Amino acid sequence: MANDAPNLEPLIAEIVRQVLADSARRPAALPSDDSPIPSTRVEREVATALAGVFSRAPQPPFRPLPGLDRLADPGGLNKLAKATPSRIGIGRAGLRYPTRTYLDLRTDHGLAREAVAAVPPAEFLRTLGAVELHTKAADLDTFLLQPNLGRQLDDASLQALRNQGTRGADVQIILADGLSAWAAQKNPGLLAALQRALTAQGFSHGKPIWVHRARIAVADQIGVEMAAKATLIALGERPGLGTGDSLSLYLAWNPKIGQDNAEKNCISNVRPAGLSVEEAARQAAEILKKAQALGQGGLAVAAPQRTW
């Protein structure tokens, strides 16, 4: 009986390809030729279809929402749906999602998982001209299950930092994969934008650093080791459905081990569909300038100045 079972692989691949071909709510580019190589034929076919969809510059035309004839303000819902990648007015099939919506969700969930597991290609890292370091999280499972190991450099990286890093810079720039290595790749102008903005505000920034399998707090250790006045770490945000290209910037004045988050500032949603790298860099430099004047960052910078 087993030999009579139909081969569903071509059918699955074709369904996924069709869903991706006319999907109307996707970021412009996530997967690339640098993504991990799929292991099965179906995965390879799906990956090929993904690459084709995400390499298209223009978005597919907006697909009318179902059930608009039953709404008090169908035009308003249409405008809202066009203004956001969120799923709005998707309708239902009985008590469930429509089939296309369900397949869209599964596709985006798969992209989110791939973003977490992605490894930045060596060529991309070479373009950064950065000191390349690793945390104590030796593999992806360890990184996900033991977050604290992603906050500490391993011994070899600590020595490399001491040998190759720039000591005493005003701001130490750190780039990292975080929970999406795609994010740094899809925002390639960020490093140069940060360097320009910091220089314009009178800050020195030394040699940049890249950290593999990094959590935010690894910047504390790096800042202390390099005797930097401040640290700026940019790393991939936890991906939502189809948003594996988003970066967050975390800024800390007077870094120290175990520094409380209340002493840090965050700029999030840095991505082609969100905050531009130039604007994020400008905001980061301005925040650090305020922190320099106050002698502290975090809530002290964010809070309004009061006169009593």
By percentage, how much of the chain surpasses pLDDT 90? 52
Report CA torsion sign: 98, 103, 108, 112: positive
Q: Which residues pair with 173 in a beta bridge?
A: 232
d(CA 186, CA 180): 10
pLDDT higher than threshold 80 for residue 6? no
pLDDT higher than threshold 90 for residue 297? yes
DSSP characters for 117-138? H----HHHHHHHTPEEEEBS--
- Pairwise pLDDT comparison (172 vs 94), residue with the higher score: 172
- The predicted model scores a pTM of 0.74
pLDDT at 93: 79
Nearest CA to 51 among 24, 21, 22, 25? 21
- Pairwise pLDDT comparison (12 vs 54), residue with the higher score: 12
Please report how many Cα atoms fall inside a 13 Å half-sphere around the Cα of residue 264, on the Cβ side. Answer: 22
pLDDT at 66: 53
pLDDT at 24: 42
d(CA 187, CA 191): 9
Instruction: Give the strands of the sheet with 209-212, arranged side by side.
Output: 131-134, 209-212, 171-178, 230-236, 247-253, 264-270
Q: Where are the domains of the chain?
A: 7-117, 122-302
pLDDT at 21: 62
Structure tokens at 242: 């189809």
User: 122-302 — its CATH code?
Assistant: 3.40.50.11240
d(CA 290, CA 26): 37
pLDDT at 84: 77
Decide: residue 38, CB within 10 A, 0-12 exposed, 13-18 middle, 19+ buried.
Answer: middle
pLDDT at 26: 45
Phi, psi angles (nearest 5°) of residue 232? -135, 110
pLDDT for 233-274, tens place per residue? 999 998 887 678 899 999 999 999 999 999 999 999 999 888
Average pLDDT over the chain reads 82
Where residue 55 falls among pLDDT bands split at 50, 70, 90? very low
pLDDT for 91-149, tens place per residue? 777 788 888 888 888 888 888 888 898 899 999 999 999 999 999 999 999 999 999 99
Q: Three-class SS of residue 48?
A: helix
Where residue 29 falls among pLDDT bands split at 50, 70, 90? very low
By the 8 A CB rule, do 26 and 114 touch?
no
Longest dimension (CA), the chain: 84
Where residue 23 falls among pLDDT bands split at 50, 70, 90? low
By the 8 A CB rule, do 271 and 255 touch?
no
Write down the residue that tokens 């009579």 correspond to.
4
pLDDT higher than threshold 60 for residue 212? yes
Mean pLDDT value of segment 2-11: 60
pLDDT higher than threshold 60 for residue 32? no
List, in order, residues 6 or more apart from 89 with CB less than 8 Å away: 65, 66, 67, 68, 77, 81
pLDDT higher than threshold 50 for residue 56? no
d(CA 236, CA 268): 10
